[in-house]
Structure 1
Amino acid sequence: MSTPVIELGPDALLVEGTPVALPIPIGTLVAVWGEPELWVGTAGSVVTWHELGVFAHRLDEKHVKTLCVQLRPEADAPAFVPRSAFTGRLLVDGEVVTDELPGAGVDARRVAGTATTERHGVRLHASYEGDHLESVEMTVPRTTPAVPVERYAPRRVADPVRFTDLGLKLAVVDELMYQQEVIQPRLDARDFARSYTGRTIDLDAEGHRPVPEILAYLEDLQIDRSEAALVHELVIDAGNDVYREVAPLWDGEDDTFDIGSWADLDLLPHLTSLDFVSLTPDDETLDALRARGLDVDA
């Protein structure tokens, strides 16, 4: 077999026209592609058809849990990666996959060099080298445990402080929730999206801007006066954890999370320093912050 054909459509995953379901019996693949080379590592084993550009991770001795095509050679690749590029055709919904994975936008590729989508009960995970699709892995979709709705129930405390500037409050939340881990639960955008029942939150489509429901959750989040007293330093950085959860795909290049008023610093009695890695205010504001007796690094 020199030109393998793998098709994923609404009715089935087809290998050489034969319907299969993951995990796939290895014997089914051997029948159409011949005997593969077996690679065994500490974390598992892989069967590879080097001349076809196809490999698969074994579930057990008789089944594979993935089916992968190597569309382009990979430099410094592990021994199980095919030495030859895929010689056949991979089709998703009738479309030949070449330089883009149908359904997985360029944002995922830009962020991580990968793209993931699901089609007809199969998870497709693509790896890119620059702008070129390098490999595609097909596997069973990951099952994500349900997040109890009550995990993100409104947080209530005995003596809440009242912030007037949400930007400054987010900086305080970053310190108390992600650095000191005093405030629980630690907000995770994908957990929140799965638990939210008001609508479907699509982080891949909406994540360039603050997700309204996540931002509202943090705006409503109560911080106790005793917790505010634990803040000695604030790091202001576009890469802070809190921003990645409020707007997972935000590029950090605009004023979305700029702090408009610093009056709420009065709520932080033990604050001694501000470190501006980015999102730095103007010189007049920096001077005013130093006039408060704060050690300001900008």
Structure 2
Amino acid sequence: MFNLFKKQPPKSITIIGTEEQLTINGVPVTFPTNHAKLVELFGEPSRSSKTKLTKSTLLCWDAEGVYCNYASSSHIYSFSLIFSKKHQLELSPKNNFSGSININNKDILFDDFDGIKFDNYVLRKLIYKGEEQPYAIAFMVNLDVKKEIATDTYQLKPTNEELLEFSDFGFKLAVIQELMYIQEVLQPLFDVNEFANWYTKRKIDIDQEGYEPIAEVTQYFKDFPVPKRLAPLVTKIYQDGGNDIYLNLLPHGNGSEEYWDIKSCADAKHFPNLKKVTLCYAADTIIDELNHMGIESEWL
């Protein structure tokens, strides 16, 4: 009898790299990549969770032996292929990677290279302190290569469009999360590392400054124009400490900050199709006020 619940075999994965290009099953991959591209390459992930400390997202492809950790679903800087159980990962694939890796016409075995660096990507072995054998290979962005960023990338340009006027900054950020990072109808897609490289009025050091709100980043979103024509697209709001908007505003935050609390429901009037709201950054009264307005609301 045919077994409808027969375990599916892992997707065959062939990785081919040259100095100019990286492909997976013939599909070109560039960094930073994004969630949609990883799904195209590996299929839907088996599992996902949030890290305990940073609240970043962990994705795991059990059958294929692939996993990744990211702060922003639109800017994913690496993914890894696991080969050993000698690790301390919060979430790891159940199976080891069984595909093939060919770099510059050479089959790369896990123990025969010290690291490979090209302008477009880097390969390196992941080894825990105190261990001799690596547990994974990571493909990642080459952070030593500074990509040219157009001078007008983050310049807020004048517009003749009618804009939404927000009275509550926290509410505005929740809307930007939905329109910029979920629906991707607000451009440009903000990346704090790219913004820091683009900014010329002073040096922004994310490693040093990312534990508190960065004034220039906060001001950028306060000034960011949201066209009124996009308001009907907002049907839901979902706040989470791992939202892209908060991770870009506070790269080294722990998810428990109160900087982005919604203190007023007044801006809900702009969104006639808003039906459901899930909050974690809001004043105690906001849930009841939204429910009273007919918007189904709950705490995360």
For the superposition of Structure 1 and Structure 2, which TM-score range results when normalised by the shorter chain? 0.5 to 0.7
Task: Kindly provide the amino acid, as one letter, of the partner of residue 114 in structure 2.
Answer: A
- Residue 229 of structure 2 aligns to a residue in which SS? helix
Change (3 A) 1:287 1:77: closer
Structure 1 or 2, whichever has the larger Rg, is: 1
Task: Pick from 77, 93, 99 the counterpart of residue 135 of structure 2.
Answer: 77
Unaligned runs of 5+ in 2: 1-99
The answer to whether structure 1 residue 271 and structure 2 residue 274 are counterparts is yes
Q: Distance in 2 between matches of 1:219 and 1:147?
A: 22
Q: Distance in 2 between matches of 1:295 and 1:146?
A: 45
- 1:56 maps to what in 2? 114
Query: What is the TM-score of this pair, normalised by structure 1?
Result: 0.56
**Aligned mates of 1:215, 1:66 — CA distance in 2:** 35
User: 8 Å contact 1:146–1:194 — kept in the other structure?
Assistant: no
Distance in 2, Cα, partners of 1:295 & 1:68: 45
Q: CA deviation at 1:235?
A: 0.7
How many residues matched? 190
Counterparts of residues 239-250 of structure 1 (less than 5 Å): 239-250=242-253
| Distance of 1:224 and 1:288 partners within structure 2 | 25
Aligned identity (percent) is 29
- Given that 1:235 and 1:275 are in contact with CA atoms closer than 8 Å, whether structure 2 keeps it comes out as yes
Counterpart contact for 1:189–1:245, Cα < 8 Å: yes
- The 1:164–1:155 alpha-carbon spacing in structure 2 relative to 1, beyond 3 Å, is farther
SS in 2 for 1:151: coil
Counterpart AA for 1:73? E
TM norm structure 2 = 0.56
Task: Select 2:156's aligned residue among 143, 147, 154.
Answer: 154
2:102 corresponds in structure 1 to 42
By relative contact order (CA 8 Å, sep 6+), the higher-ranking structure is 2
Partner of 1:215: 218
Deviations 1:207-247 (A, max 9, x none): 11221111111111111111122111111222111011111
Aligned to 2:175: 172
Offset from partner CA, 1:252-286 (integer Å, 9 cap, x none): 1121111122211112222111112x22542x332
1:57 shift after superposition:
3.5
Computed over aligned residues only, the root mean square deviation of the Cα atoms, in angstroms, reads 3.3
Distance 1:297 1:72, change over 3 A: same
Alignment of 1:277-288 (within 5 A): 278-282=280-284, 284-288=285-289
Q: Give the aligned residue type for 1:249.
A: H
Change (3 A) 1:75 1:147: same
User: Which structure's residues are more often strand, by fraction?
Assistant: 1
Task: Give the residue type in structure 1 aligned to 2:229.
Answer: S
The aligned residue for residue 96 of structure 1 is none
2:108 partner amino acid: S
- The answer to whether the Cα contact below 8 Å between 1:46 and 1:57 also exists between their aligned partners in 2 is no
SS at match of 2:290: helix
Q: Which residue of the partner structure matches residue 292 of structure 1?
A: 293
User: Is 1:226 aligned with 2:229?
Assistant: yes
- The answer for unaligned runs of 5 or more in structure 1 is 1-39, 50-54, 82-113, 115-124, 126-139
| Match in the other structure for 1:128 | none
Partner Cα distance (1:236, 1:68) in 2? 33
User: Whole-Å Cα distance in 2 between the matches of residues 75 and 56 of structure 1?
Assistant: 12
